[in-house]
Amino acid sequence: MGGYRHILVGVFISLVISTWAKAKPLTVATYNIKYLTACVNSVRESHLRQVIELADFDLWALQEVKDRRALIYFFPEEDWNIVIDDQSTDDQNLAFVIKKDVKYRLESGNTHDAGKLDFLFPDSSNFPDKRDVLKVYLEVAELSDEIVVLNHHAKSRYNGRLTSEPVRIGASLEIVDYLSSSAEQYVVLLGDFNDTGDDASLNTLENGVKSIIELENNTGSFMENLTESLLSVDAVTYGLNSRAIDSMDRSRLNPTISGSRQDNVLNYDDGYVVKRALYDQILVSPALKDHAMVNSADVFAGAVSVAGNSDTRASDHVPLFTTLFDAASKIESLSIKRVLANPDGADNDNELLVINSSLHYTFKGVITLRDEYGSDYLASVDIQPLDEITVRPLATAFSLNNDQETISLYISGKEVDRISYSNAASGEWQIF
C-alpha cells in the first residue's frame, strides 16, 4: 500500500470533471456481420444500424467485411476509426472499428490500412481466405502496458465438421505458439471460432496444448474463456431468428436454445449439422482477467439483431461483448475506509474521508459522495492499484454529521459502498 498519495482539495469545476469523466469502462465486442457490403437491402440496413446504435461498443472486432466502403456506410469516419486491409479483394476480411476516443496503434505503423505486420500468420494455410488473425494495440489509462486485441475467424464447418476441424485446431496451436513466445501479458482474443467452448480448438486455446472435445465448464488456465458461463446455460450466438424474441418483452431476445450444447458434443461424428451454437468467443489472458476485473461475456440482448428473415436480418450471428474496467459493477471496488467527521477546531473545510481501492488497475474518474441529507460532493480522483487517497470536501453543502451519519459512495450513478457511524469524538477517526 502506498499510503496517502495526495489530498484532494478545492471545488471541482465542470471542466475538470468532464476531462476525468473520460475514464470509463471499455467494451469490446465480436460480430460476424455476414458478408457486409455497401449494398444491402433497406430492411437489413435499418436492422444493422439499430444494432450498432443500441450496442454502443467501444471496439468492434468484425468478420466477413467486403471493404472499407461497407464499414463507412455504417460507422461514420467522424465518430469511428476503421482498421481493415485496403489491398484485399476478399469478401471475408477482418476489421476493427474503434471509437475515436479510444487510443490504439498498429504494428505496421499505419493508422487505418492494415499491413502485413498487423496479421499474425499471413502465409499459413490454417487461416484461409484472408482470415488471418488481425491485431491491434489499445492504450488504456488503467494499465501501465497496452492491451493487444486479436480478431480471429476460424475455418467454417462447411463441407463437414471432421474434415475442417484439423484446420481450426491447427489455427489454435499457432495462436498458442504466438502467445507463448510473445511478451504481451494483456491479451483479448475474440471472433467467430466456428466451434464452441467444448470443442477441441477452444480447449486447445484454454489449456495451451492440443486438446480434445470435452463437455466441461473449465474456463482455462492458458487463456480464460469468458463464454463458458453462457455455454453452460445453452446460450448461442449463431443461428438465432425472430423466434428468439422474448414474448414478454419484444425489445429483447432470449439467446438460450435448450439442448444446443448437447447437440454440438453428442453429434460430433455422425454428419449432423449444428444449426445453432455458441460459435463466437471471447478469451482473455489470465493477467488481463485479474487486472481488468472481467469475469464473463454477454450476448447483445437487442431483439433487432434477430428481426426479419435470412435476407433482412442484420446478420446470422448476434454480437458478443465483454466490459473491462467496470468498477461500478463491483461492490466495494472503491470503499470508504476512514472518516474524520469531527476534526479539532472548525468542521468546515477540515472534514476528511479516506477512499480505498481494491482494484488491480488505476482508477481515474469522478466519484460521488452523498451524505445523510442527500447532499452530493463530486470529486475527480486518481487512485493507484490497491492504494488509497484522502478527500477533503470544500465549499459544498455536503458535510459529515458528528452523530448518526450515513455516507454513500457512487461510481457512474451506482452505489458501491455505504458506511454509517454515530458519536464521533473530536479528533477521532471513524474506521470501517
**Helix %, strand %, coil % for the chain, to 5?**
20, 30, 50
pLDDT number for residue 131: 87
**Residue 413 is placed in which grid cell?**
450513478
Q: Give the chain's domains with CATH numbers.
A: 4-19+330-431 (2.60.40), 26-325 (3.60.10.10)
Beta bridge partners of 335: 356
CB crowding 6-29: b at 16 or more within 10 Å, else e: eebeeebeeeeeeebeebbbbbbb
**Residue 7 is placed in which grid cell?**
489530498
DSSP codes, 2-37: --EEEEE-S---HHHHHHHTT---EEEEEEEEEEE-
Residue 395, CA distances (Å) to 283, 401, 409 in order: 47, 16, 19
**Residue 238 is placed in which grid cell?**
449463431
Largest CA distance in the chain: 82
pTM of the model: 0.90
pLDDT number for residue 83: 98
Tell me which H or E stretch contains 152. strand 147-153
Cβ atoms of 201 and 189 within 8 Å: the answer is no
75 vs 232: CA distance, rounded Å: 34
Helix (H, G, I), strand (E, B) or coil at 148: strand
**What number of other Cβ atoms are within 10 A of residue 227's Cβ?**
27
pLDDT number for residue 358: 95
259 vs 33: CA distance, rounded Å: 25
| Distance from the Cα of residue 279 to its chain's centroid | 18
> With the C-alpha atoms ordered 327, 333, 338, 341, is the resulting torsion angle positive or negative?
positive
pLDDT in tens, the chain (432 residues): 333 334 544 433 333 443 444 457 999 999 999 999 999 999 999 999 999 999 999 999 999 999 999 999 999 999 999 999 999 999 999 999 999 999 999 999 999 999 999 999 998 999 988 789 999 999 998 998 999 999 999 999 998 999 999 999 999 999 999 999 999 999 999 999 999 999 999 999 999 999 999 999 999 999 999 999 999 999 999 999 999 999 999 999 999 999 999 999 998 988 888 999 999 999 999 999 999 989 899 999 999 999 999 999 999 999 999 999 999 988 899 999 999 999 998 888 899 999 999 999 999 999 999 999 999 999 999 999 999 999 999 888 999 999 999 999 999 999 999 999 999 999 999 999
262 vs 85: CA distance, rounded Å: 38
Q: Which are the contacts of 371, defined by CB distance < 8 A and separation ≥ 6?
A: 398, 399, 400, 401, 405, 406, 407
Cβ atoms of 223 and 172 within 8 Å: the answer is no
pLDDT number for residue 189: 98
Cβ atoms of 101 and 22 within 8 Å: the answer is yes
Residue listed under C-alpha cell 501501465 = 144
161 vs 209: CA distance, rounded Å: 21
Question: Where are the alpha helices (H) located in 96-199, listed in sequence order?
Answer: 161-181
86 vs 340: CA distance, rounded Å: 60
**Residue 244 is placed in which grid cell?**
428468439
pLDDT number for residue 5: 39
Q: What's the one-letter identity of residue 245? A: I
306 vs 2: CA distance, rounded Å: 50
283 vs 206: CA distance, rounded Å: 8
**Residue 176 is placed in which grid cell?**
498458442
